[in-house]
Amino acid sequence: MYSREELRDLIEKSYAGQALHKKPAELYQPISYMMQTGGKRLRPVLALMACNLFTDNIKDAVLPALGLEVFHNFTLVHDDIMDKADIRRNKETVHKKWDDNRAILSGDVMLIQAYEYIATSPAGVLTQILKLFNNTARQVCEGQQYDMNYESRDKVSEEEYLFMIENKTSVLLGASLQLGAIIARAPERDSGLLYDFGTKLGMAFQIQDDLLDSFGDPDIFGKETGGDIKSNKKTYLLIKAYELANAKQKDSLNRIIAGEFNTEKEKIQKVLAIYESLGIRHHATRKANEYLSSALDKLDMVDIASERKSNLKEFADVLKDRIN
């Protein structure tokens, strides 16, 4: 069995071996920049972990797993343009460092690169892998559209929000695990359970991300805290606050969002004060833990020796520690 650190190192070395100094440099420099800004490499590592559950020969999964990481970073490049975000992983976003046009075009090439890596999947499972990847990529785009739709709506329900983040964020984690299992020729039931494990884990991860945006340490989080509040983003925290707030608190939230306060710092402080008065941090933490518990239940059902699941269980435990 490979350790999580060994798998991440394998992904990093694999991409370094693939990287080429292509021309025009103006097109490829932003791609190298984005891929070298760090990131947890969650998706490719999960893919390799899933493959490693069933076999110690994971070489056929390395490049397809890398394709998932390139695809994920492609979505971030375009998301940052749409969100007008200036900072990602403590560095300037691609569109901020260069411009929107270069970021869009470089992102397009990243999507092509992702397909090139996915297409290296073994011939016997290539059709299945492509179907999984295409469905997932489409869902991610649908989730992003719902996210943008919600920006112009006064009210979004908790159910609508959870559906949106499942598509925008969680399905890619589920697909990462299922991809690794498929390449390892795992039974269909087990690959499906791993997909469910990943999607539940992704839901917990996104709610945690919402929490960190408001309450996290920016040096650890990699982005400015309060960014969601500044942009009036419909997060789990804001939606829950509206659900629990009394009339006076709802009026305060409405006035804050309408731009009553002159400074961003004051706006963030006022919203956080309302969150604290309503116990929003507790509600969000509890919801994230519900998803995490459900994810672990799915993992327990996978028909493989418990000791081989230790890496995935430890991975989930790390997330649990960060949530709590």
Dist. CA 196–CA 190, nearest whole Å? 10
pLDDT at 109: 96
Q: Residue 12's domain spans which residues?
A: 4-323
Dist. CA 120–CA 179, nearest whole Å? 12
- DSSP, collapsed to helix, strand or coil, labels residue 91 as strand
Please report, for the domain that includes residue 48, its CATH number.
1.10.600.10
Start-end of H helices in the chain: 4-18, 25-35, 42-54, 59-83, 94-97, 100-118, 123-151, 158-165, 171-183, 188-215, 218-221, 227-230, 236-244, 247-257, 264-278, 280-301, 310-323
Dist. CA 199–CA 177, nearest whole Å? 9
pLDDT at 147: 92
Please list, residue by residue across 70-86, b when 16 or more beta carbons sit within 10 angstroms of its beta carbon and e when fewer do.
bbbbbbbbbbbbebebe
Q: Residue 316 — φ and ψ, nearest 5°?
A: -65, -35
Residue 252, CA atoms < 13 Å, CB-side half-sphere: 17
Positions in the chain whose pLDDT score sits under 50: none
Dist. CA 209–CA 231, nearest whole Å? 16
Overall domain count for the chain: 1
- DSSP, collapsed to helix, strand or coil, labels residue 323 as helix
Nearest to 206 by CA among 233, 236, 176: 236
Dist. CA 227–CA 240, nearest whole Å? 18
Please list, residue by residue across 166-196, b when 16 or more beta carbons sit within 10 angstroms of its beta carbon and e when fewer do.
bbbbbbbbbbbbbbbbbbbebeeebbbbbbb
Dist. CA 92–CA 90, nearest whole Å? 7
* Residue in this structure with the two tokens 């996290």, named with its chain if needed: 216
Cα–Cα separations (whole angstroms), residue 182 to 4, 79, 178, 308, 316: 20, 29, 6, 17, 21
Using left for φ > 0, alpha for ψ between -120 and 50, and beta otherwise, residue 118 falls in: alpha
